[in-house]
Structure 1
């Protein structure tokens, strides 16, 4: 399940918060890599990939987060993936749970 929302902090502050939260609150979660693109008018786009071992799914799931402020407001989009076995994509909700972490971590900065 994908998440889309807007926040009141910069993309750099948001990615720092996510790295801290996923590393601290998620015992097996870790940042794989992130890439920043600087744009005109101090705008930027950040794409980050996280990975986490879910014991209930029996394997690792990924979380891809895109954060940008191209139009002056910081947008966050996250989607989880992986977690299924072979031909089956049943992951006991692991990918959905992981894709909700950015929303939960940044909820105090939500723009209503």
Structure 2
């Protein structure tokens, strides 16, 4: 499941809040990588990948978040992945839950 919304803060500030929540709000969460592209007129595009162990899924789940302000407002797109085992990759909703995390963390800044 993918999640899309817009926030009133710049991409780097939104990422800072997400990193803080994943890395300090969880014993098992960590940021795997971050890639930032700076464009003209203050445009930022950031792609970050997080990983966290979900006990209910019995393994690690990834979260990929893309943040950009190319249209003048910060757009957040997140998608969870992994987590399942076997042929059907059933993960008890862990990937979807992780994908929703950015909306919860940044809820006070959501504008759309």
Instruction: Tell me by how many angstroms 1:25 deviates.
Output: 2.1
Counterpart position of 1:41: 41
How far apart are the structure 2 equivalents of 1:26 and 1:109? 22
Q: CA RMSD for the aligned pairs?
A: 0.9
Instruction: Tell me by how many angstroms 1:62 deviates.
Output: 0.2
Q: How many residues align?
A: 112
- 1:8–1:111 Cα contact (<8 Å) kept: yes
After TM superposition, the structure 1 = structure 2 runs for residues 1-112 of structure 1, keeping only pairs within 5 Å, are 1-112=1-112
Instruction: Tell me by how many angstroms 1:41 deviates.
Output: 0.8
Instruction: Tell me by how many angstroms 1:26 deviates.
Output: 2.4
- 1:45–1:69 Cα contact (<8 Å) kept: yes
Moved over 6 A (4+): none
Q: What is the SS of the residue equivalent to 2:106? A: helix
How far apart are the structure 1 equivalents of 2:12 and 2:30? 17
How far apart are the structure 1 equivalents of 2:10 and 2:83? 31
How far apart are the structure 2 equivalents of 1:24 and 1:93? 22
Which shifted more, 8-17 or 25-34?
25-34
TM-score where L is the length of structure 2: 0.96
Gaps of 5+ in 1: none
Instruction: Tell me by how many angstroms 1:86 deviates.
Output: 2.6
